[in-house]
Chains A and B, each alone.
Chain A
Amino acid sequence: DTGVSQDPRHKITKRGQNVTFRCDPISEHNRLYWYRQTLGQGPEFLTYFQNEAQLEKSRLLSDRFSAERPKGSFSTLEIQRTEQGDSAMYLCASSGQTYEQYFGPGTRLTVT
């Protein structure tokens, strides 16, 4: 098992552009989570999937954010019309039958 992977690791974009991030969870894990982490802070929950169903979304997830998990495997997080305030590390995590979540390396987004 290679753990949770995320792609890309870094993304620099101009304000107003759309970006999409991908997360591949640990293969047998049915739960997948997205978090946002700003410098010097702990991760903040954005959304989570159980299999392909998106079961909860944070108020942080504005209309410009959308997440999918087709077929209950990998997931994508898209941010439309990016703003400078979207600059952050976007973390993906997955969990299986137990409650601990395993994190990927994150995608660092910089909006210029």
Chain B
Amino acid sequence: KAGVTQTPRYLIKTRGQQVTLSCSPISGHRSVSWYQQTPGQGLQFLFEYFSETQRNKGNFPGRFSGRQFSNSRSEMNVSTLELGDSALYLCASSLVSAGGIAEAFFGQGTRLTVV
């Protein structure tokens, strides 16, 4: 079974630009979450999508947005990039059970560098 696939693996952008990151979840997983990892703040939750609907959102500015498609693939977009957006962006997929509890399986991440 293929794992969570994130593309691209590495990205360099200039301040003020926008960027789109892609995530393909594990087959059958309908929940996709995004996380940002930085040395100073650690791993922080961005948002979670389930069946094309955003169910949960973290404390990030509106420049960070996402969407999920009918095949559960997800994209996240960051507009007007700032130097502080440089981070490892991680996508996780989950097979949510009836009880609502599920482990999240992570992709390799996209390393975004803003210069």
Same complex origin of A and B? no
Chain A interface (Cβ < 8 Å from any Cβ of B) = none
Chain B interface (Cβ < 8 Å from any Cβ of A) = none
